[in-house]
Amino acid sequence: MNSALEQLQQAIGLIVPEVVLLGTVCLMLFAAPFLVSDRGTAAPGLRHRWGALSLVSLLLAGGCWWTSIPQPVGTGPFRLDELAWLVRGLSLSAGLLLVLITWNQADDGRAAETQASLLAILAGVNLVAAANDLILLFVALELVSIPTYLFLLLPRRDALAQEAAAKYFLLSVFSSAVVLFGMSYLYGVSGTTNLEALYAALRGGQFEKMPSLLAISVVLLIAGLGFRLTAVPFHFYAPDVFQGAPLSAAGLLAVVPKLAGFVALYRLLGLSLGVPFGGWSLSGVSEPLLWWLAVLTMFVGNLLALLQTDVRRLLAYSSVAHAGYMLAGFVAGVNPSGSPSGIEALFFYLGAYGAMTLGAFAALAALRSAERGVETVDDLAGLSRARPGVALMLAVMLFSLTGLPPTAGFLGKLNLFLAAWSLGTDAGRWLAIWLAVNAAIGAWYYLKLVAAMYLREPEGPALESAETPALVALGACTAATLALFFLPGLLWTAVQGV
């Protein structure tokens, strides 16, 4: 009994930041009914108090994260290694930005549930990175998915938001079933759900007699997690969901599920793809599949983004294309002839991508006219004259998404290109070439937005900066995007330990 209690205390001690976040979620959900009337109304400004509580919770969790020490080995349900430490930092930073973007997105009566959903999602991402067990990993992935449905719907209950939440819900349930099916094969051939024991069984040759079952598991896991990555052909929900969701939810969908998806993919596959089975290698099945996923995702995302006039749909297809860039880094990192630089480039780019994408959505959230917010490219026309500061910061975000210096996006794409080229194989060199070609294609639609802001006259009511918290988030993203170019060691030092 004492031994079990000690193990429980030790396990909880490894996830103190997540306990802080989930404790705040419970507090919000318990207190909210007492502060909201039966008709759903609440005191004016209550949403700001819930937002402030979320910021305090994230800062407390961040303090616990900063003082924690990565542990390279995990034998229990949790593994607090360098990857888990890095992901905590990235998710908590994204959380601070998302709270600011969400500040005025929900009304006072639903703000508690909205903020609680956001904190639960962030706790789920952290637990995905810290999971050392298949069951816990799946539960953590669901802790990301289920509150996301609420986060899509709560801030704005119109028809578009309901359609977005319904589409995401149905497709997410399907992807979760596929992931669980793939995990069941892993358990069936290994007899364990512990990831460390699974790696040991893999390297010990336990799967040599059942390679086909393991290959089926890999294909199922890639397909199921591909939904969260918005990889082609699992991307088709993204444009409609991004267009119908509130801006804060669209920004979250562009960043947070990708972080959780790539971490889960690396935990499940990244440490095992190069393991041979006599004359047969798992890499022979997975690497061509991942290579084609990366190339198709880049091309489909960029080519369809060229056709968009709606800014949210454009950013949705942009998110698809960036998933392809990241998959290229994953392919380079897990290839037996590759180097750890591929995984390092992947997680560096995830950090840079999070800053520049959330910055773009923060800019859209901060702007609106007397009639509506930013919806089409034409709505951005003349922004440099109406709001020069916002236009400049949004231009920095778009330059970074393009991959131009002096922004973090340039270094991120350069690292991905070099990682793919360093494979020294024809497949690696072609992957690098396609990455460069797609970066050039993407420049067209990003620079189209910049041209609208600086070279065109406004065609409607002038845009105003109506959301001060979103402007703060935009300023922070701009500073981070520029800082990671001039001081890349701020993030690169952390990703090198992964």
pLDDT, tens digit (0-9, with 9 covering 90-100), for 139-175: 999 999 999 988 888 766 667 777 777 888 888 889 9
- Shared domain for 265 and 325, answered yes or no, is no
- Shared domain for 332 and 251, answered yes or no, is no
Check if the beta carbon of residue 127 is closer than 8 Å to that of residue 140: yes
Output the six-digit token pair for 106: 């929900």
Helix (H) / strand (E) element for 464: namely strand 464-465
Helix (H) / strand (E) element for 71: namely none
The owner of tokens 């992935």 is 141
Whether omega for the bond prior to residue 406 falls within 30 degrees of 0, making it cis, is yes
Residue 98: inside a domain: yes
- Shared domain for 135 and 204, answered yes or no, is yes
Residue 24: inside a domain: yes
CA–CA separation, 117 and 245 (whole Å): 15
- Shared domain for 208 and 291, answered yes or no, is no
Whether omega for the bond prior to residue 233 falls within 30 degrees of 0, making it cis, is yes
CA–CA separation, 85 and 65 (whole Å): 7
SS3 category, 109: coil
Q: Residue 370: is its pLDDT beyond 50?
A: no
Residue 353: inside a domain: yes
> Residue 23: CB partners within 8 Å, gap ≥ 6?
none
Using the 8-state DSSP alphabet, how is residue 407 labeled?
A: S
- Shared domain for 304 and 400, answered yes or no, is yes
Residue 490: inside a domain: yes
Of residues 482 and 494, more confidently modeled? 482
Residue 68: inside a domain: no
- Shared domain for 440 and 481, answered yes or no, is yes
- Shared domain for 250 and 356, answered yes or no, is no
Q: Residue 205: is its pLDDT beyond 50?
A: yes
Q: Residue 386: is its pLDDT beyond 90?
A: no
DSSP 201-262: HHHTTTTTT-HHHHHHHHHHHHHHHHHHHT-TTS-TTHHHHHHHS-HHHHHHHHHHHHHHHH
Domain end (from 249, 272, 295) = 272
Residue 9: inside a domain: no
Check if the beta carbon of residue 412 is closer than 8 Å to that of residue 276: no
> Residue 232: CB partners within 8 Å, gap ≥ 6?
293, 296, 297, 300, 301, 320, 324
Residue 2: inside a domain: no
- Shared domain for 258 and 295, answered yes or no, is no
- Shared domain for 181 and 290, answered yes or no, is no
Domain end (from 230, 249, 272) = 272
Domain end (from 272, 303, 338) = 272
Using the 8-state DSSP alphabet, how is residue 463 labeled?
A: P
Domain that includes residue 82, residue range = 14-33+49-63+78-272
CA–CA separation, 215 and 210 (whole Å): 9
Could you tell me how far CA 77 lies from the centroid of its own chain?
A: 23
Span of 146-155, 376-385, 464-473 with lowest mean pLDDT: 464-473
- Shared domain for 179 and 93, answered yes or no, is yes
pTM of the model: 0.92
Check if the beta carbon of residue 488 is closer than 8 Å to that of residue 411: yes
| Closest by Cα among 91, 101, 96 to 65 | 91
CA–CA separation, 326 and 95 (whole Å): 21
Helix (H) / strand (E) element for 281: namely strand 280-281
- Shared domain for 304 and 188, answered yes or no, is no
HSE (side-chain half, CA atoms, 13 Å) at 319: 35
Confidence at 391, pLDDT banded by 50, 70, 90: very high
Confidence at 428, pLDDT banded by 50, 70, 90: confident
How many distinct structural domains can be found in the chain?
2
- Shared domain for 235 and 296, answered yes or no, is no
Residue 5: inside a domain: no
Identity of the amino acid at 381: A
pLDDT in tens, 39-95: 656 666 788 888 899 999 999 999 988 887 776 655 578 888 888 899 999 999 999
